[in-house]
Amino acid sequence: MSGDRAREIDRGFLQSLAHLDVGRDVGRDVGGDVGREVEGDAAELLALFDAQARSRHLDFAARALQAEGAGFYTIASAGHEGNAAVAMALRPTDPALLHYRSGAFYVARAARVPGVDGVMDVLLGLVASRDEPISGGRHKVFGRRELAIGPQTSTIASHLPRAVGLAFAIGHGKKLGVASEAPEDAVVVCSFGDASLNHATAQGALNAASHASHRHVRLPLLFVCEDNGLGISVPSPEGWVKASLEARPGIRYFAADGCDAAEALAVAKEAAAYVRARRRPAVLHLSVVRLLGHAGSDVELAYRKAEDIRAGDARDPLRLTARRLAERGVSASVILDRYESARAEVGERAERARRSPRLESAEEIMAPLAPRTPDAVATEARRGVDFERRRRFWGDRLPEGEGPMTLAEAIRHTLGELLLKVPGMLIFGEDVGRKGGVYGVTRGLQAKASPARVFDTLLDETTILGLALGCAQHGLLPFPEIQYLAYLHNAEDQLRGEAATLSFFSRGQLRNPMVVRIASFAYQKGFGGHFHNDDAVAVLRDIPGLVVAAPSRPDDAAAMLHTLAAAGVVDGTVSVFLEPIALYHARDLYEPGDGRGCAPHRAVPEHVPIGEPRVQGEGRDLLLVSFANGARMCLRVARRLAAEGVHARVLDLRWLAPLPEEALLAHAEACGRVLIADETRRSGGVSEGVMAALLDGGFQGPVRRVTSLDSFVPLGPAADRVLLSEDAILAAARALIS
């Protein structure tokens, strides 16, 4: 055991056992107001105490391991051990998304599942062992698939939107007939701290739950706010948490003293029963204390008074649980024996944990990041739907009989085919249902597939992505739509911190496949300004494992959507599909009326392997590299160059992550010169990655790039002054050739 505070808390508990006095009023003794008469079974309270004691000694062990250089995480659960009562009020099959002070919850749940050693699980996490059951040493998380506990990273409140989505999926999944590990009457529990309550992500999730309840949507979700009154060093205003949570319409409010095990258990059972029976959300407000500071390096005396720290020690949950046990006739010696037994158990397992293996190579670490099985994906992507089902869905006029389609039409009809092919597929977002999207891309799909599968959501991108996360974790395949690329940025952590990490931090045991559709890029002839013409994709390209697609043609868009859906089904892939707004309704390519911007729908799906570009032309004088709007510009530039005797080929990247590096190098070597035409910004744009790939690959020929400027896109004709243009590409090509 390391640290004076740990020894002080340990000693304080032992001294409290020596002075147990059942006759004294516990409520007045700890300076609180219990506020209700509580009863509880002694055996149940003893089991709860065992979980609390193990969690406490795990906190002590964390500090000892850290002091020896053998442990790497010391955010304690001390003072929050009342959450063991929540675990005991729920079933081990109820999905749990946990706060990082949930040691007692984890140990209590593990004790109810045969063959699971919760104490060893936590210790293996502390020492970053590859034998740890959920993340395999990649992060210190509470999690195990057999306990229905997924790994949660430390991003504040980022898991709350996922919890809303998971509860929605449990309530909604039966309509779709999709199998799930969670029972039909499951309750999702999601815990967080009082300071996290103020985060915009938490507020959005609570609002979404309230909104769903108001609309009578089934949402079996129990929020648990563990209120210790502090956000690291900043105190929560007295009464603020209660006022904020109690006022939520449609969310039933429960409150309990989380330091008093008997009261916490009684109220947690009441809250869980309400949610399970009513299928409506509730919040359990647990008043707790924070012992041992925020983390191992935290010095509480730098911002707290000594008397406040002592007052918190007096409300130590283990002391109060011991008092409740004494009231039920359990002797202090029995309590002491169980406490010391927990100490010995943790100590013995800590010795074993110290000797456990750790991750040793980059390959081993990254193995679960983004698994790829391209042959299986190709097979799934090419799988079609039988004629009769398609005829019933589309009516007498099948898509292949409608003639050449624009990009928007191709996307719409492909989404319809995927709804037929994948039973658990959902399409949702702002305005995608009845209206069919701002640009009409999803028009008519709700009527054909049903409002259960194509529906409108709140105007909140964080909620949209959180809904997708939860639905995907439940076994569905969501296609959430973000209305414009600029709207993604306030919700991007749902992709970075949640979606992309689940497979990584669960060793591939859990996954949340999805295809996020986003109306993207610029060139809307000046309409709408920056928020409707955003070209910033760097924030997506640097997310490990995320696939980023950007088609420039209707036939590519259709094939790439089939590929991404298949990758979601087969590999659990998380992907983003960037749809160029300016090309949605473009029919022509070179001159008005040529119709070369359209393509026919194919009844048998095509497949484009992830990371494979499209190459057009066989010229050997110059390679033009681009994507989306830029690919169209490059084709026109190549035609103009041909009239001047310069023969270029165009490489349409199609995939911005992963970049098609091998093909890029091969075609660069064949042509000898490379011009990258990048409609994103010069700094942080795609062209930087392309140039780096050429350099890393050893390409020796001249490489130039022409890009949009480092500016937001202004309104009206001024947009043409900062965006990549066809004339700029042509001028750069001529200069490079000369």
Q: Is 253 helix (H, G, I), strand (E, B) or coil?
A: strand
Q: Could you identify the residue written with the tokens 């087969």?
A: 570
Contact 552, 411 (CB under 8 A): no
**Does position 33 have pLDDT exceeding 60, yes or no?**
no
- Could you tell me the two tokens for 81? 């051990």
Contact indicator for 500, 551 with CB cutoff of 8 Å: no
Quick count: other Cβ atoms within 10 Å of Cβ 413? 22
* CA 14 – CA 8 distance, rounded (Å): 10
Distance of CA 393 to the CA centre of its chain: 33
- Tell which residue, 702, 733, 531, has the closest CA to residue 633: 733
DSSP state letters, 100-143: TT-HHHHHHHHTTSTT--HHHHHHHHHTTBTTSTTTTTSS----
Which of 82-91, 132-141, 486-495, 531-540 is predicted with the least confidence, judged by mean pLDDT? 531-540
What is the tens place of the pLDDT at every residue in 354-363? Answer: 999 999 999 9
Q: Render pLDDT for 425-476 as a digit per residue (tens, 0 to 9).
A: 999 999 999 999 999 999 999 999 999 999 999 999 999 999 999 999 999 9
What confidence tens digit (pLDDT) does each residue in 293-349 have? 888 777 888 888 888 888 888 999 999 999 999 999 999 999 999 999 999 999 999
Find out whether 694 and 660 touch, Cβ atoms under 8 Å: no
pLDDT at 30: 34
Strand 514-520 versus strand 547-549 pairing type: unpaired
Q: Can you tell me the distance from the alpha carbon of 618 to that of 647, in angstroms, rounded to the nearest whole number?
A: 8
Asked which of 27-36, 443-452, 494-503, 593-602 is least confident by mean pLDDT, the reply is 27-36
For residues 235 and 303, is the Cβ–Cβ distance under 8 A? no
Contact predicate 562/551, CB 8 Å: no
- Range in 528-537, 609-618, 703-712 with the lowest mean pLDDT: 528-537
User: Rounded distance, CA 694 to CA 664, Å?
Assistant: 8
CA angle (648, 653, 655) in 5-degree steps: 175
Average of per-residue pLDDT values in the chain: 92
Instruction: Say if residue 23's pLDDT is above 70.
Output: no
What digits encode the pLDDT tens for the residues 639-679?
A: 999 999 999 999 999 999 999 999 999 999 999 999 999 99
**Once rounded to an integer, what is the mean pLDDT over residues 17-30?**
54
Q: Which residues lie below 8 Å from residue 645, measured CB to CB, with a gap of 6+?
A: none
Q: Which residue has the tokens 């563990």?
A: 226
Which strands form 655-657's sheet, in the order they lie side by side? 454-456, 425-429, 477-482, 514-520, 574-580, 547-549, 655-657
Structure tokens at 687: 């062209």
CA distance 538 to 492: 12
Helix/strand/coil for 216: coil
Contacts of 592 by beta carbon, 8 Å cutoff, 6+ apart? none
Beta bridge partners of 260: none
What is the structure's pLDDT at 4?
A: 86
Distance CA 72, CA 125 (A): 9
Q: Is the pLDDT of residue 37 over 60?
A: no
CA torsion sign, 553 to 516 to 435 to 459? negative
250 touches 280 (CB < 8 A): yes
Name which of 429, 440, 525, 434 is nearest 479 in CA terms.
429
Strand, coil or helix: 298: coil
Say what the pLDDT of residue 291 is: 92
The verdict on pTM exceeding 0.85 is yes
> Residues of the chain with pLDDT > 70: what percent?
97
Amino acid 531: pLDDT: 77
Instruction: List, in order, residues 6 or more apart from 667 with CB less than 8 Å away.
Output: 615, 623, 649, 651
| Measured distance CA(392)–CA(376) in Å, rounded | 28
CB atoms within 10 A of CB 711: 15
What is the rounded (10 degree) CA torsion for 247, 252, 253, 259?
A: -160
Task: Centre a 10 Å sphere on the Cβ of residue 186 and count the other Cβ atoms it contains.
Answer: 23
How far is C-alpha 158 from the chain's CA centre?
7
Q: Is 532 one of the catalytic residues?
A: yes
Find the Cα–Cα–Cα–Cα dihedral 562, 567, 573, 575, rounded to 10°.
-20
Instruction: Put the strands of the sheet holding 96-97 in their side by side order.
Output: 96-97, 188-193, 221-227, 282-287, 252-257
Reduced to 3 states (helix: H, G, I; strand: E, B; else coil), residue 569 is helix
Query: CB of 568 within 8 A of CB of 503?
Result: no
Q: CA of 642: how far to CAs of 144, 269, 402, 645, in Å?
A: 61, 76, 34, 5
The b/e string for 463-479 (b: 16+ C-beta within 10 A; e otherwise) is bbbbbbbbbbbbbbbbb
- Residue 112 CA to residue 372 CA, distance in Å, equals 36
Q: Specify whether the CB–CB gap between 135 and 507 falls below 8 A.
A: yes
Distance between CA atoms of 408 and 553, rounded to whole angstroms?
A: 10
Q: Which of 532, 562, 601, 667 is catalytic?
A: 532
pLDDT above 90 covers a percentage of the chain that reads 82
Domains in the chain and their CATH numbers? Answer: 4-364 (3.40.50.970), 376-583 (3.40.50.970), 614-737 (3.40.50.920)
619-634 CB burial, b ≥16 within 10 A, e <16: bebbbbbbbbbbbbbb
Task: Decide: 253 and 285 in contact? Cβ < 8 Å.
Answer: yes
Give the mean model confidence (pLDDT) for residues 566-589.
96
Q: How far is CA 167 from CA 205, 275, 451, 454, 492, in A?
A: 12, 11, 18, 18, 22
pLDDT the model gives residue 525: 77
Select from 562, 553, 63, 107 the least CA-distant residue to 350. 63
CA distance 259 to 373: 50
What are the backbone dihedrals phi and psi of residue 733, each rounded to the nearest 5 degrees, phi first?
-65, -45
Per-residue DSSP letters for 427-465?
EEETT-SSS--TTSTTTTHHHHH-TTTEEE--S-HHHHH
Position 532 scores a pLDDT of 84
Taking only the tens place, the pLDDT of each residue in 263-286 is 999 999 999 999 999 999 999 999
The predicted structure's pLDDT at residue 21 = 58
DSSP conformation class of 497: I
> pLDDT digit string (tens) for 370-392?
899 999 999 999 999 988 899 99
pLDDT value of residue 511? 95
The per-residue pLDDT for range 201-213, each reduced to its tens digit, is: 999 999 999 999 9
Give the contacts of 12 (CB within 8 A, at least 6 positions apart).
313, 316, 319
Give the confidence band of 594 by pLDDT, cuts at 50, 70, 90. very high
DSSP code per residue over 643-676: HTT--EEEEE--EEES--HHHHHHHHHHHS-EEE
For residue range 614-624, list pLDDT tens digits in order. 999 999 999 99
Distance CA 108, CA 47 (A): 8
Count the Cβ atoms, other than its own, within 10 Å of residue 337. 11
